[in-house]
């Protein structure tokens, strides 16, 4: 839909809404006024007839000959007034006499279509469309006692005739003003949209060619628009040069990233080959270790080759352990988490390291804050991470011994586990690299224990970090989200 059409529809809607509202309010007032007057007039006519009908109605119903007399009175009332029906009922609501112009029967008792005044313009319009007369009435009293009632039903044309005539006149006037308003709106919108169309065509040319300068019109608003288009034209050429430079830069960066991705793929392939090679090498080392054990078992204790075989067994065992840790780190097995408390897993890891800690003269303590939230964790993987931290702490405090304090506490919606030792601590350079694979400060270390700890923490959507200073021990913090937080 074009702008011109939208503006035309908007103006037309406003005109039609305004004229329709005025028409509806005028009709509503006319219908209400006319119907109130007719209701009062009908009640007065029924009351005048009711005084005559009291001679022919009694407490037990119509008097002898009263039904015929009342029928004649109803016929005269129907012929004299603008009514569709006139009728009389006794005090029990039973029909006594009825006169109908349309042939419609008169009801017993209270008529079902008792007139209700309109409450709004829509009700008034509905009365004009759907026929509904006004039923008025008055009681029939005889010696102060209620003996019946007279009812009259006005014709529909009498009720809404004047309002319909008013509606025709108002509709004709409204149609004239609507047509005139639409004609003026079309002329006005054409004068507005013609210059805009010219600007749009010039803007299309600007987008295709660039550097187009439009003549500035005399109209103030359009002059501002054209000036803005001219400024955009000047900036467009500058942006084109800048975009060309950015495109060239992006192409260089994409080429570099492509080379990096290819390099990463090659490294991933080499990593898979290395893992397979390590597995096969481990099998060979197990064979060597087995034959070495057989030879040691058969050699006597004082044989001169026995120390050499003992050295082979130590180095083979060390190499096999290194390969096993490398495979554990490289395979990064899938996690099978379950919602569970962290305390049993933590205490089991500390208990497992207990004998080694006792041999190294290291005291262990475990403190668990009550009411910790459950975690969503793989118990085996988490236990291995906690055990690695405990083993590292015990080894760091050898040979002099020390103290290992393990504390679990709430942190936000999750859990934080601290492993604090009284070992020699670490300098800044060691702290930065302590979680890197194959980085170690131990003579016989593999450098994979803390790398596996970080891998396990990240697999549980957690983190691990360390606080340490030389001579003041080290504290490792493992943060794990609660079960609800991890699920979210």
Residue 427 CB partners (closer than 8 Å, separation 6+): 470
Provide CATH code, domain 3-179.
3.30.450
pTM as predicted: 0.40
- pLDDT at position 329 is 56
CATH 3.30.565.10 domain extents, the chain? 333-487
Identify the H or E element spanning 362.
strand 362-368
Give the model's pLDDT for residue 112: 39
Per the listing, tokens 């067994």 go with 313
333-487 under CATH 3.30.565.10, yes or no? yes
Per-residue pLDDT of the chain (488 residues; tens, 9 = 90+): 455 566 666 667 776 777 666 666 666 676 667 667 777 787 888 888 888 888 888 878 888 888 888 888 888 888 888 888 888 888 888 888 899 888 888 887 754 334 445 455 555 556 555 555 677 788 888 888 888 888 888 776 655 666 666 666 767 777 777 777 667 767 766 766 666 676 676 666 665 555 666 667 666 666 777 777 777 777 777 787 888 888 988 888 888 888 877 765 665 565 556 656 665 676 677 777 777 887 888 888 878 888 888 888 877 777 776 666 665 555 555 567 889 999 999 999 999 899 889 989 999 999 999 999 999 998 888 998 999 899 889 988 988 889 999 999 999 889 999 999 999 999 988 888 888 877 777 756 666 778 888 988 988 889 999 999 999 899 999 999 998 887 77
Q: Which pLDDT score, from 0 to 100, does residue 479 have?
A: 94
Of 331, 342, 281, 332, which is closest to residue 479 (Cα–Cα)?
Answer: 342
pLDDT at site 439: 74
Q: Where in the chain is the domain with CATH 3.30.450?
A: 3-179
- Separate counts of helices (H) and strands (E) for the chain: 12, 13
Neighbouring residues of 34: CB distance < 8 A, sequence distance ≥ 6: 159, 160, 162, 163
Q: What is the pLDDT of residue 346?
A: 93
CB 161 within 8 A of CB 167: no
Residue 113 has a pLDDT of 38
Sheet containing 145-154, strands listed edge to edge, beginning at the edge strand earlier in sequence:
95-100, 83-90, 145-154, 135-142
Q: Which helix (H) or strand (E) segment is 400 a member of?
A: none
The residues that bridge with 375 in the sheet, in sequence order, are: 340, 482
Q: Which residue blocks in 101-219 are alpha helix, DSSP H?
A: 121-129, 156-209
Taking CA 478 as the corner, what is the angle to CA 475 and CA 480, rounded to the nearest 5 degrees? 160
List Cβ neighbours of 85 (8 Å cut-off, separation of 6 or more). Answer: 78, 98, 99, 100, 101, 102, 104, 106, 151, 152, 153
pLDDT, position 264: 59
Could you tell me which residues come within 8 angstroms of residue 480 by beta carbon, excluding any fewer than 6 positions away?
342, 375, 377, 414, 415, 416, 417, 457, 460, 461, 462
């Amino acid at each position: 839909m074009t702008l011109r059409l939208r503006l035309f529809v908007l103006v037309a809607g406003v005109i039609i809404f305004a004229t329709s509202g005025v028409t509806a309010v005028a009709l509503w007032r006319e219908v209400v006024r006319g119907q109130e007057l007719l209701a009062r007039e009908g009640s007065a006519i029924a009351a005048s007839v009711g005084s005559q009908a009291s001679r022919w109605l009694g407490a037990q119903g119509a008097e002898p000959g009263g039904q015929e007399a009342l029928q004649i009175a109803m016929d005269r009332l129907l012929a004299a007034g603008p009514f569709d029906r006139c009728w009389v009922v006794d005090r029990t609501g039973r029909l006594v006499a009825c006169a109908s112009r349309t042939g419609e029967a008169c009801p017993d008792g209270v008529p079902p279509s008792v007139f209700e005044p309109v409450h709004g313009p829509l009700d008034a319009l509905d009365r004009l469309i759907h026929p509904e007369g006004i039923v008025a009435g008055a009681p029939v009293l005889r010696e102060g006692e209620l003996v019946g009632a007279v009812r009259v039903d006005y014709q529909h044309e009498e009720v809404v005739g004047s309002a319909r005539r008013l509606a025709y006149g108002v509709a004709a006037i409204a149609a004239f003003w609507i047509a005139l308003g639409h004609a003026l709106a079309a002329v006005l919108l054409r004068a507005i949209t013609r210059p805009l169309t010219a600007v749009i065509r010039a803007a299309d040319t600007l987008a295709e060619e660039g550097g187009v300068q439009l003549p500035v019109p005399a109209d103030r608003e359009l002059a501002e628009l054209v000036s803005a288009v001219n400024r955009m034209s000047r900036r467009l050429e500058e942006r084109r040069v800048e975009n060309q430079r950015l495109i060239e830069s992006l192409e260089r960066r994409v080429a570099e990233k492509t080379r990096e991705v290819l390099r990463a793929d090659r490294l991933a392939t080499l990593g898979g080959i290395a893992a397979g090679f390590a597995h096969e090498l481990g099998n060979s080392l197990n064979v060597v270790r087995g034959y070495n054990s057989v030879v040691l078992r058969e050699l006597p204790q004082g044989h001169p080759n026995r120390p050499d075989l003992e050295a082979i067994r130590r180095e083979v065992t060390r190499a096999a352990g290194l390969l096993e840790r490398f495979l554990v780190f490289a395979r990064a097995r899938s996690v099978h988490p379950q919602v569970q408390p962290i305390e049993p897993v933590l205490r089991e890891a500390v208990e497992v390291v207990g004998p080694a800690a006792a041999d190294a003269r290291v005291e262990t303590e475990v403190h668990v804050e009550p009411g910790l939230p459950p975690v969503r964790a793989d118990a085996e993987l988490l236990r291995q991470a906690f055990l690695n931290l405990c083993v590292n702490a015990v080894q760091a405090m050898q040979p002099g011994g020390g103290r290992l304090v393990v504390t679990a506490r709430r942190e936000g919606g999750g859990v934080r586990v601290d492993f604090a030792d009284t070992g020699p601590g670490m300098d800044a350079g060691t702290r930065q690299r302590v979680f890197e694979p194959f980085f170690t400060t131990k003579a016989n270390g593999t450098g994979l224990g803390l790398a596996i700890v970080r891998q396990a923490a990240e697999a549980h959507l957690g983190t691990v970090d360390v606080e340490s200073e030389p001579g003041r021990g080290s504290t490792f913090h493992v943060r794990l989200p609660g079960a609800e937080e991890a699920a979210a």
